Amino acid sequence: MRVTSLFLADHAQAVNGKLYVTGGAWDTINARAFPVTHPHLSVCLALEVGWEDHNREVRVEVKLLDADGRSLLPGPVGGVTTARRGPDAEPGDTTPLLLVFNLLGLRFDRPGDNTVSVEIDGVPSGHVRLKVRQRGAHPQPPAP
């Protein structure tokens, strides 16, 4: 099993083998002041499931880490899924598996470079950068 696509979106759904995406493939959140709460972020994931990986449970977990490696999520995000072969599958065929993880009310206390990563069965399998920047207001200098 391998990740063929991983990206962020404003909103997404995986329905009947298709991804429906609004505002996808971005990597920056701009904020005027901090802390800031981002209301909704979809982590979109496409996996290619090999013939040998069909019909078995697979644990998929999403992590959001700051530059220091600390989690920005209140708890684990993910779950267990099983990819099934289609009725017309032939030996050796692969199957796409599309997943969307919706993260609601993300709080960022400061600007920074963050990482959204995906683990499959505990193995790091892909990551994208999520930059949080201060824009439109003059940043306050750090306190002495």
Tokens 């290619």, located at residue: 48
Query: How far is it, in rounded angstroms, from Cα 106 to Cα 1?
Result: 29
Does residue 143 lie within any of the structural domains? no
Indicate left, alpha or beta for 109 from its phi (over 0: left) and psi (-120 to 50: alpha): alpha
Does residue 142 lie within any of the structural domains? no
| Tokens matching residue 123 | 């193995």
CB neighbours of 32 closer than 8 A, spacing ≥ 6?
Answer: 134, 135, 136, 137
Work out the burial of residue 36: count CB atoms within 10 Å of its CB; fewer than 13 is exposed, 13-18 middle, 19 or more buried.
Answer: middle
Q: What is the pLDDT of residues 112-142, one digit of tens each?
A: 999 999 999 999 999 999 999 998 765 566 6
| pLDDT value at 18 more than 60 | yes
Does residue 129 lie within any of the structural domains? yes
Does residue 78 lie within any of the structural domains? yes
Name the CA radius of gyration of the chain, rounded: 18
For the chain, what is the domain count? 1
Quick one: pLDDT at residue 113? 98
Q: What is the pLDDT of residues 89-114, one digit of tens each?
A: 899 999 999 999 999 999 999 999 99
Quick one: pLDDT at residue 130? 98
| pLDDT value at 45 more than 90 | yes
Instruction: State which residues form the domain around 76.
Output: 2-27+36-134
**Mean pLDDT computed over 64-79:** 94
Does residue 139 lie within any of the structural domains? no
Does residue 141 lie within any of the structural domains? no
Mean per-residue pLDDT over the chain, rounded: 93
Give the model's confidence band at 38: pLDDT under 50 very low, under 70 low, under 90 confident, else very high.
very high
| pTM of the model as a whole | 0.89
Does residue 55 lie within any of the structural domains? yes
- What CATH number is associated with residue 71? 2.60.40
**Mean pLDDT computed over 43-49:** 96
Query: How far is it, in rounded angstroms, from Cα 63 to Cα 128?
Result: 11
In 3D space, the residue among 9, 26, 30, 22 whose CA is nearest the CA of residue 103 turns out to be: 9
